[in-house]
């Protein structure tokens, strides 16, 4: 009976993994899937681009009838889980204490959201080590999610512009973001918006939950960012790499 139960568990694991694998293969993310699995095993190899964009070219978001945007709170955690089912409600609530989140609604239904931090830019895959600190007119934007039933409608761009507008009203007009080199979806979004990459960096780390390693700049272009060409990551600050 134990053997049969073990086989059943393995079969369920494969059933859950195959749709994710097929989705990533379909969207050209096979290389990123391999890197993510290596990172889960404790070997982090993350090449990534750092970009900077200004709010000057962005206006108010063009909202369709029935659409609205507002800051999300802990009361919205259950709807956030529905949009991105990778996390239970607890981590969302904890992250809201450290970062801002703006949601897009159709009627009363949350259909997408994006996060912003106002203190620092982290190194991806490092469990929260700092790449550089932010100034009073800057923000770091990350993790745009759109609910499955609303994908393909260019809502990520609506959310991006809404975040820009909200931050610009508070004097934050310079926005940083990073994209993993093989993650095509966010790179296409930024390319459509005319955002230029300013640095290509590579983080190499060892360890599953709190990796240690080196983060190196491979190339850069003006305007130059306030980064070191080589950063040693010795301890992790957060359980979430974007926090």
**CATH number for position 223:** 3.40.630.30
Cα 106 to Cα 72, 102, 150, 159, 242, distances in angstroms: 14, 14, 10, 12, 27
Distance CA 180, CA 174 (A): 20
pLDDT tier at 53 (50, 70, 90 boundaries)? confident
Q: Which two tokens stand for residue 66?
A: 């029935």
Position 62 confidence tier, pLDDT thresholds 50, 70, 90: confident
In a domain, 180, yes or no: yes
Let me know if residue 29 belongs to a domain. Answer: no
Average pLDDT, the chain: 85
pLDDT exceeds 60 at position 26: no
Q: Which residues of 12-38 are buried (b: 16+ CB within 10 A; e: fewer)?
A: eeeeeeeeeeeebeeeebeebeebbee
Assess if residue 240 is contained within a domain. Answer: no
* Cβ 172 vs Cβ 141: under 8 Å: no
- Tens of pLDDT, residues 163-192: 999 999 999 999 999 999 988 777 777 777
> Residue 239: its pLDDT value, please?
45
**Is residue 11 included in any domain, yes or no?**
no
Give the DSSP H or E segment for 50: strand 43-54
Q: Does residue 204 fall inside a structural domain?
A: yes
Torsion, Cα of 194, 23, 125, 166 (10° steps)? 40
The pLDDT tens digits for 194-242 are: 788 999 999 999 998 889 999 999 999 999 999 999 999 996 555 455 6
Instruction: Establish if 20 belongs to a structural domain.
Output: no
Torsion of CA 97, 187, 70, 161, to 10 degrees: 130
Token code pair at residue 10: 């393995």
Higher pLDDT, residue 62 or 243? 62
Look up tokens 């070997």; give the residue: 43
* Residue 226 maps to a domain: yes
What is the structure's pLDDT at 3?
Answer: 45
Long-range contacts of 150-156 (CB under 8 A, 24+ apart): 150/106, 150/111, 150/112, 155/104, 155/111, 155/112, 156/112, 156/189
- Residue 135: domain span: 42-233
Number of structural domains found in the chain: 1
Residues 63-81: what's their mean pLDDT?
95
| Residue 8 maps to a domain | no
């Amino acid at each position: 009976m134990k053997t049969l139960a073990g086989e059943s568990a393995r079969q369920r694991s494969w059933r859950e993994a195959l749709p994710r694998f097929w989705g990533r293969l379909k969207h050209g993310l096979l290389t990123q899937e391999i890197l993510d699995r290596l990172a889960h095993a404790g070997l982090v190899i993350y090449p990534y681009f750092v970009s900077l964009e200004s709010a000057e070219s962005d206006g108010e978001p063009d909202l369709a009838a029935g659409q609205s945007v507002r800051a999300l709170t802990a009361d919205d955690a259950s709807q956030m889980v529905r949009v991105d089912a990778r996390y239970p409600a607890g981590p969302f609530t904890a992250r809201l204490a450290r970062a801002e989140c703006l949601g897009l609604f159709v009627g009363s239904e949350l259909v997408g959201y994006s996060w912003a931090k106002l203190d620092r830019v982290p190194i991806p895959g490092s469990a929260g080590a700092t790449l550089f600190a932010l100034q009073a007119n800057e923000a770091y934007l990350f993790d745009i999610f759109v609910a499955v039933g609303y994908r393909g409608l260019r809502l990520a761009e609506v959310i991006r512009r809404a975040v820009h507008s909200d931050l610009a009203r508070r004097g934050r007009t310079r926005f940083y973001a990073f994209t993993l080199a093989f993650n095509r979806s966010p790179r296409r979004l930024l390319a459509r918006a005319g955002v230029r990459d300013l640095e290509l960096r590579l983080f190499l780390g060892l360890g599953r939950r709190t990796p240690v390693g080196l983060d190196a700049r491979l190339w850069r272009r003006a305007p130059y960012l306030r980064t070191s060409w080589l950063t040693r990551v010795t301890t992790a600050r957060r359980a979430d790499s974007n926090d």
